[in-house]
């Protein structure tokens, strides 16, 4: 890992997450679209005095990935390499549902009741297919599982029924306490029936 100077004047004590000699911190905020990553990441970066970076903007500005229809398809290896190079020695909060593929000191996985995800993505006018894909992903913990495969330090946060400020408080508290790994705190099986009409599970595919 990397070497840098002091950790003075930090709201949190990141030492629990950092390798010896390392003093700057990369926090990745990930989760299914619509769980609140951007809202929370901006607020968290303000609270900690860290830079805020959007994966999508970063990739777009540097020509990483290509447009497929209306979507920017990002090569995660290229993204990880470019972000590691760029943010070496800086305190940053990286926002995006691919941020857990970037080498980070800690990954925050935001979760939200799939019913909320349905509502938010419908409001955005997502297609039926895209809505289903994302609600299913939230239902069966896709991003959490990926994050746990990619990083040792993973904190899962349930945003349901909380304000963005409360979510940021919860994240800060876990960071202050040096908690490195927390997951398994949500179970969406109870809302499966309610979101079933929005899913595409098994629809004509084998």
Ligand X SMILES: Nc1ncnc2c1ncn2[C@@H]1O[C@H](COP(=O)(O)OP(=O)(O)OP(=O)(O)O)[C@@H](O)[C@H]1O
Binding residues for ATP: 34, 36-39, 124, 162
60, 75, 115, 164: residue in contact with ligand X (rule CB under 6 A): 164
Taking CB under 6 A as the binding criterion, the range among 32-40, 76-84, 86-94, 99-107 that sits at the site for ligand X is: 32-40
Instruction: List the structure tokens of 75.
Output: 């090569």
Three-state DSSP at 92 gives strand
CB closer to ligand X out of 97 and 100: 97
Task: Determine the Cα angle at 195 with ends 191 and 197, to 5°.
Answer: 145
Three-state DSSP at 13 gives coil
Instruction: Kindly state the DSSP code that residue 22 receives in the 8-state scheme.
Output: -
- Residues 165-194: x/- map of binding to ligand X (CB under 6 A)? --x---------------------------
In order, the DSSP letters of 26-63 are EEEEE-STTSSHHHHHHHHHHHHT-EEEEHHHHHHHTT
Establish if 115 lies at the interface with ligand X (CB under 6 A): no
Number of residues that bind ligand X (CB under 6 A): 16
For residue 39, the minimal CB distance to ligand X (Å) is: 4
For residue 113, the minimal CB distance to ligand X (Å) is: 11
For residue 105, the minimal CB distance to ligand X (Å) is: 21
Q: Which residue has the tokens 């029924």?
A: 161
Q: Which residues pair with 108 in a beta bridge?
A: 29, 155
12, 14, 36, 65: residue in contact with ligand X (rule CB under 6 A): 36
Instruction: List the structure tokens of 69.
Output: 């229809």
Q: Site residues (CB under 6 A) for ligand X?
A: 31, 33-40, 97, 120, 159, 162-164, 167
């Amino acid at each position: 890992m990397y070497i840098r100077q002091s950790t003075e004047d930090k709201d949190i004590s990141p030492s629990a997450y950092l390798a010896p000699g390392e003093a700057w911190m990369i926090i990745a905020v990930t989760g299914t679209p619509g769980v609140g990553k951007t809202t929370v990441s901006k607020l968290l970066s303000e609270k900690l005095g860290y830079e805020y970076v959007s994966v999508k903007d970063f990739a777009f500005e540097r020509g990483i990935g290509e447009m497929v229809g209306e979507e920017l398809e990002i090569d995660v290896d290229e993204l990880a390499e470019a972000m590691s190079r760029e943010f070496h020695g800086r305190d940053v909060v990286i926002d995006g549902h691919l941020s857990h593929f970037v080498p980070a000191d800690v990954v925050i996985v935001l979760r939200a009741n799939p019913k909320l995800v349905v509502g938010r993505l419908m409001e955005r006018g997502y297609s039926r297919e895209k809505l289903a894909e994302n609600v299913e992903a939230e239902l069966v913990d896709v991003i959490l599982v990926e994050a746990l495969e990619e990083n040792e330090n993973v904190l899962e946060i349930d945003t349901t029924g909380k304000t963005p400020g409360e979510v940021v408080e919860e994240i800060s508290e876990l960071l202050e306490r040096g908690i490195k790994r927390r997951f398994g705190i949500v179970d969406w099986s109870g809302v499966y029936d309610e979101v079933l009409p929005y899913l595409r599970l098994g629809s004509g595919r084998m």
